[in-house]
Chain A
Amino acid sequence: MNELGSLALITLYPVTLFGAAASFLGGHNRREGLVSAGERSLVVSFLLLTLSVLSLVVLFLKDNFSNAYVANHSNIDLPTFYKVTALWAGQEGSLLFWNWLLSLYGIAVLWSNRNRNRDLMPYVTAILLVSAFFFTNMNLLAANPFRPLVMDHAGTPIPYAPPDGRGLNPLLQHPAMVVHPPVLYLGFVGFVVPFAFALAALWTRAPGAGWLLATRRWTLFAWLFLSGGILLGARWAYVELGWGGYWAWDPVENASLMPWLTGTALLHSVIIQEKRGMLKVWNAVLVVTTYLLCVFGTFLTRSGIVSSVHAFAQSPVGHYFVGFLALGVVFSFGLIWMRREYLRSDATLDSVLSRESSFFFNNLVFLVSCFAVLWGTLFPVLSEAVRGEQISVGPPYFNRINVPIGLFLLFLTGFAPLLAWRRTSWPSLRRSFAWPAALMLAAGTILFLLAVRARYALICFSLSVFVATTILMEFYRGGRVRRRQLGESWPRALANLFLRNPRRYGGYVVHFGVVLLFVGFAGSSFNRSRAEELSPGGEMAIAGYTLRVENLEEGETPNYDFARARVVLERRGRPVGVYRPERRFYYASEQPSTEVEIHSTVREDIYLVYASTGEKGGAVIQVYRNPLVLWVWVGGIVLVLGGLICLVPMRREGPPIPKASESEGGAP
């Protein structure tokens, strides 16, 4: 199996190179034969990568510890399910998995464009294959998943297999962590499609905004997965890491947030190019930046550059990533510069008070936020390069910048839909603005009187009311128009709003999810926590709750042993549940692991951690009271659902328009 996987990877190497060259030449000289050979290369790459991935999975399932990757990420007693998912537990495997997803996207793009965009496709294929080439390169030279565990000095493998593997990191033995990497990677890799189309369109000077339309859904698709991946990561951190929070501005988290910020900006500004033929350069820059940030994000999570610059210097993967990124930046931005005439805008901004201008500020702020996060994340590296001293910036820096930016964006979320394209007249704005603004002020006043004094939280809650009201009004006014014009019933009118313009109304649902997310974020201003050593019968109180340890127990399983406390939680004297926070010790990896228990309500979470066994033999229980965390998860789900609605194809309305029956561009 080792040989088969290895050979598939080695064969892949010339295939990607050949395919990229054939596609490019075929496109350039307009030779159908070459183009077709290039497309076949993409299909063959997918098959070879599938073979490679399957080989690795089989090695895991057969506990073949003579393979270094398997030995380092699995052990005999690991549940079968985790043996399969250990595929993406480490650097080598996840790079292989990345490459496989890339080729999967590749064949999906080929298939959906088999009768469309034929002029662009050779170049799209070439760019996909060049990307695949770089990842294959890394897998072969710097992070080979098929490396034998033991080699002599000449590099010849010595067939030695230890009796058992090192085991999978216990932190990764969690369902959220099993789906998180594939979902996130589907997001990261997905942005390669708009990237490839954008470069292909620039190269060929393709007429119109065809590439934008062809990739709009791909972009949305990738963005959805990226959002889902980030949320799953946050969820995993919350339930698994045991420090009571879900976001810490950790470099790894920032790595996924940055492309999300530019990707979200892109989703908005694309609409402007589509409607008004403006911001073409801007969109090209955003597409390129987003994909390169995705590659950069993979690099950050995989190379460990930020945790230590020295680790980066030693990590061979780093050089390949830097090389790939540098090449990507030079080539893409060079091409945009060369084609600046082609990208000239068809129109100009007419008024500050227009939808376009609100999108402009939305984009500006997203980009500024992304840059601030990038700067903060890389600051240790930059400061060491410039001043010879590593300085890190903590969460205060990130919060200081991103909280106001987030609030401004929240405001735009509510304000922008009130604006019309090109210009908005004051009377109509006043009319739309009155209710939301009044409710916002009312909510703010009531909260203030209820003694909510945290400044940002107060602003955030009030703005949330404002945005939620504008969204509801959009639905109400839209539905009323349909009722008046077409005599539809309310449920029917609302359903038709979605069907006739899924992107607009799905977008509102996404915005509503964002409102819920922000309410949840603001809740963190009121977090409380305390820790105490409790023996059986011991009690501790926090924020109206009392928790009493009933008993302590110990035990073992083949994989780990554990200490556990049985805790009865009461609110104002009434029992609300029994919880069993636990501390485990995994044998194979010799690592402890905390299993937290969470009492979750709409109001707040009570988060229980078995921190350690104390001096007196009792359990040190750490308890957190985190208000409104549930809103974050619900908001995330609403956001993803809204995104799915946006993906639904638009239903036509009214009398059929002649010859308008072509289907929409390349949807996944």
Chain B
Amino acid sequence: MSILLLLLPVLVVAALLPPLFRRGTEMRAEREDRICALRERKRVLLAAIRELDFDREMGKLSEADHEAERERMKREAAEVLIAIDREEGRSDA
């Protein structure tokens, strides 16, 4: 039992320290997180457009409201797509 007790802190230290002596690797660039966020945004927008269409079919929205809102969302989706292309283009360069 007492050997086990002594072993515990040793094991903990052995588990924690090695990464500290790893060669100084930099973290992955922020860009990937940015692309992730953009893709997530795109996904949300597309789902929102689908839901908007569905709401119109259900008769919750007037034609005009639906058109205006859809237009706005499409514009934002386009901007997001352009931003994604730009980020990805930069990674190829």
**A-to-B contact residues, CB < 8 Å:** 3-4, 7-8, 11, 15, 18-19, 22, 26, 30-37, 40-41, 43-44, 48, 116-120, 206-210, 213, 274-275, 418-425, 427-428, 431-432, 477-478, 480-481, 484-485, 501, 504, 650, 653-654, 657, 659-660, 662, 665
List chain A residues, Cβ under 8 A from B21.
33
Contact indicator A504/B58 (Cβ below 8 Å): no
The number of residues on chain B lying at the interface, defined by a beta carbon within 8 Å of a beta carbon of chain A, is 47
List chain A residues, Cβ under 8 A from B32.
118
Contact indicator A428/B59 (Cβ below 8 Å): yes
Contact indicator B44/A275 (Cβ below 8 Å): yes
Q: A40-B16, A119-B33, A210-B33 are in contact. List 19 more A-B contacts (CB 8 A).
A: A4-B4, A15-B12, A31-B26, A32-B25, A34-B20, A35-B27, A37-B16, A37-B19, A37-B20, A40-B19, A44-B12, A206-B33, A209-B37, A210-B40, A421-B55, A428-B61, A477-B59, A478-B54, A650-B47
When C-beta atoms are compared, the residue in chain A nearest to B57 turns out to be A481
Q: Is B93 an interface residue (CB 8 A)?
A: no
List chain B residues, Cβ under 8 A from A662.
36, 39-40, 43
Give chain A nearest CB distance to B90 CB in angstroms.
15
Contact indicator A210/B36 (Cβ below 8 Å): yes
- Whole-angstrom CA separation of A485 from B57 in the bound complex: 9
| A18-B16, A36-B22, A275-B44 as given contacts; A428 in contact with B33, CB under 8 Å | no
Q: Is B51 an interface residue (CB 8 A)?
A: yes
- Whole-angstrom CA separation of A120 from B16 in the bound complex: 21
List chain A residues, Cβ under 8 A from B39.
659-660, 662
Contact indicator A30/B27 (Cβ below 8 Å): yes
When C-beta atoms are compared, the residue in chain B nearest to A38 turns out to be B19
Contact indicator B9/A208 (Cβ below 8 Å): no
Q: Is B24 an interface residue (CB 8 A)?
A: yes
Give chain A nearest CB distance to B29 CB in angstroms.
9
| A3-B1, A481-B54 as given contacts; A32 in contact with B16, CB under 8 Å | no
Enumerate B39-80 residues with CB–CB distance to A below 8 Å.
Answer: 39-44, 46-48, 50-52, 54-55, 57-62, 65, 69
List chain B residues, Cβ under 8 A from A19.
16
List chain A residues, Cβ under 8 A from B46.
657, 660
Give chain A nearest CB distance to B30 CB in angstroms.
6
- Whole-angstrom CA separation of A3 from B6 in the bound complex: 11
Give chain B nearest CB distance to A570 CB in angstroms.
51
List chain B residues, Cβ under 8 A from A35.
27
Neighbour of A213 across the interface among B4, B22, B40, CB < 8 A: B40
List chain A residues, Cβ under 8 A from B52.
421
- Whole-angstrom CA separation of A15 from B12 in the bound complex: 8
Contact indicator A422/B65 (Cβ below 8 Å): yes
List chain A residues, Cβ under 8 A from B36.
116-117, 210, 662
| A32-B25, A33-B22, A275-B48 as given contacts; A8 in contact with B8, CB under 8 Å | yes
Contact indicator A422/B44 (Cβ below 8 Å): no
List chain B residues, Cβ under 8 A from A213.
40, 44
Neighbour of B61 across the interface among A420, A480, A659, CB < 8 A: A420
List chain B residues, Cβ under 8 A from A665.
40
**B-to-A contact residues, CB < 8 Å:** 1, 4-5, 8-9, 12, 15-17, 19-22, 24-28, 30, 32-34, 36-44, 46-48, 50-52, 54-55, 57-62, 65, 69
- Whole-angstrom CA separation of A359 from B81 in the bound complex: 29
Give chain A nearest CB distance to B87 CB in angstroms.
11
Contact indicator A481/B25 (Cβ below 8 Å): no
When C-beta atoms are compared, the residue in chain B nearest to A426 turns out to be B62
When C-beta atoms are compared, the residue in chain B nearest to A26 turns out to be B27
Give chain B nearest CB distance to A450 CB in angstroms.
35
Neighbour of A33 across the interface among B24, B38, B40, CB < 8 A: B24
When C-beta atoms are compared, the residue in chain A nearest to B22 turns out to be A33
List chain B residues, Cβ under 8 A from A425.
61-62, 65
Contact indicator A11/B9 (Cβ below 8 Å): yes
Report 20 cross-chain contacts, Cβ distance below 8 Å, ordered by A residue.
A15-B16, A18-B16, A30-B27, A31-B25, A32-B25, A32-B27, A33-B20, A34-B19, A34-B20, A36-B22, A37-B16, A48-B12, A117-B33, A117-B36, A274-B44, A420-B60, A422-B65, A432-B59, A662-B40, A665-B40
**Which 4 residue pairs of A and B lie closest in terms of their CB atoms, listed nearest first?**
A208-B37, A36-B19, A32-B25, A481-B57
| A118-B32, A485-B57 as given contacts; A209 in contact with B9, CB under 8 Å | no
List chain B residues, Cβ under 8 A from A3.
1, 5
List chain B residues, Cβ under 8 A from A206.
33, 37
- Whole-angstrom CA separation of A126 from B48 in the bound complex: 35
Contact indicator B65/A420 (Cβ below 8 Å): yes
Contact indicator B40/A501 (Cβ below 8 Å): no
Contact indicator B8/A422 (Cβ below 8 Å): no
- Whole-angstrom CA separation of A160 from B44 in the bound complex: 64
Neighbour of B30 across the interface among A4, A119, A424, A427, CB < 8 A: A119
Give chain B nearest CB distance to A94 CB in angstroms.
24
When C-beta atoms are compared, the residue in chain A nearest to B38 turns out to be A208
When C-beta atoms are compared, the residue in chain B nearest to A8 turns out to be B8
Give chain A nearest CB distance to B51 CB in angstroms.
7
When C-beta atoms are compared, the residue in chain A nearest to B27 turns out to be A30
List chain B residues, Cβ under 8 A from A477.
58-59
When C-beta atoms are compared, the residue in chain A nearest to B17 turns out to be A37
Contact indicator A660/B43 (Cβ below 8 Å): yes
Contact indicator B37/A210 (Cβ below 8 Å): yes
Give chain B nearest CB distance to A343 CB in angstroms.
16
Contact indicator B27/A31 (Cβ below 8 Å): yes
- Whole-angstrom CA separation of A35 from B16 in the bound complex: 11
List chain B residues, Cβ under 8 A from A427.
62
List chain B residues, Cβ under 8 A from A15.
12, 16
Contact indicator B15/A40 (Cβ below 8 Å): yes
List chain A residues, Cβ under 8 A from B4.
4
Give chain B nearest CB distance to A476 CB in angstroms.
10
- Whole-angstrom CA separation of A659 from B40 in the bound complex: 11
Neighbour of B12 across the interface among A11, A209, A501, CB < 8 A: A11
When C-beta atoms are compared, the residue in chain B nearest to A51 turns out to be B8
List chain B residues, Cβ under 8 A from A36.
19, 22
- Whole-angstrom CA separation of A8 from B27 in the bound complex: 32
